[in-house]
């Protein structure tokens, strides 16, 4: 390959807004660099890279991971509730309802 420019996309979605922004960079471009170059942090100030998980094509990855040409970086919104705690809460509510039989 003679073209040394990587082309990737950075994606973020929330309930009422989403964005898919193209980014170019040299080989070795990391997830963090792609997100910063995309302008996504300015567009969605609620994104906090210290807490939001990120990934590539649906697989969670670290911010310092180097990207390949054509990768799609995804920024995942925080969960509203911890899934384990939600299951415990539902189970407790079911048990509290008692057995009418």
| pLDDT band with cut points at 50, 70 and 90 for residue 2 | very low
Residues in the chain: 101
Q: What domains sit in the chain, N to C, each tagged with a CATH number?
A: 6-96 (3.10.20.30)
What pTM, to 2 d.p., does this model score?
0.76
What integer pLDDT is reported at residue 94 of this predicted model? 83
For residues 49 and 63, what is the distance between their CA atoms, to the nearest angstrom? 8
- Among 58, 59, 71, which Cα is nearest to 29's? 71
- 82 has a pLDDT exceeding 80: no
- Tens digits of residue pLDDT in 24-65: 999 999 999 999 999 999 999 999 999 999 999 999 999 999
Sign of the CA dihedral 63, 48, 40, 82? positive
Task: DSSP letter for 76, please.
Answer: P
Query: Please, where are the H alpha helices in 1-73?
Result: 31-38, 40-43
């Amino acid at each position: 390959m003679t073209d040394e420019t990587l082309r990737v996309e950075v994606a973020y979605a929330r309930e009422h807004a989403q964005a898919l922004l193209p980014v170019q960079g040299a080989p070795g471009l990391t997830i963090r660099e792609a997100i910063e170059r995309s302008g996504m942090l300015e567009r969605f100030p609620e994104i906090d890279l210290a807490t939001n998980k990120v990934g590539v094509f649906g697989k969670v990855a670290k911010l310092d991971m180097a990207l390949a040409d054509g990768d799609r970086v995804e920024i995942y919104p925080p969960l509203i509730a911890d899934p384990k705690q939600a299951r415990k809460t539902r189970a407790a509510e079911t048990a509290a309802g008692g057995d009418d039989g």
